[in-house]
Each structure stands twice: as structure tokens, then as C-alpha cells.
Amino acid sequence: MCETKTRKEIAQELYLSEGTVKRHISEILAKTGYDNILRLAVHAVASGLIIPGMGRTGEQTEE
């Protein structure tokens, strides 16, 4: 989610079905009270949970 990937790309990377990824995203939205992934991402950046341009390993990503 933090790297602007489609559900299909996330599913392939994690060896899950696209439906499973969709369900997990829906569950995350329901638990956090957000109605869409963009609002959740904005909150995550604003609160420092994710840093734009940083990969999962903490290395700078190419954008």
C-alpha cells in the first residue's frame, strides 16, 4: 500500500489472491474508521507511520 501498488501487484508479491488483498484492505479501513485507502494513507503520512519515498527496508526508493 505504501508503494502505490495495485491490489493485483500486492497479491502477486505476497502470494495471495486479489480477493484476499481486497478483504484485508476492507478490514483495515473498517477498523480504522476510514472510508477509502487514500484517506488512510494521508493519515499514515501525517502521523509519521509511513515516510514517503522510503521502502520497507528503510532504503530510499526511486520515484
- What letter does residue 61 receive in the DSSP assignment? P
| Predicted local distance difference test score (pLDDT) of residue 60 | 61
pLDDT for res 61: 59
For residue 34, give the nearest of 17, 51, 46, 19 by alpha carbon.
46
- How high is the pLDDT of residue 11? 95
Cβ-contact 61, 4 below 8 angstroms: no
Dump pLDDT digits (tens) for 40-60: 989 999 999 888 877 666 666
pLDDT tens string 2-41? 577 899 999 999 999 999 999 999 999 999 999 999 999 8
Model-wide pTM > 0.75:
no
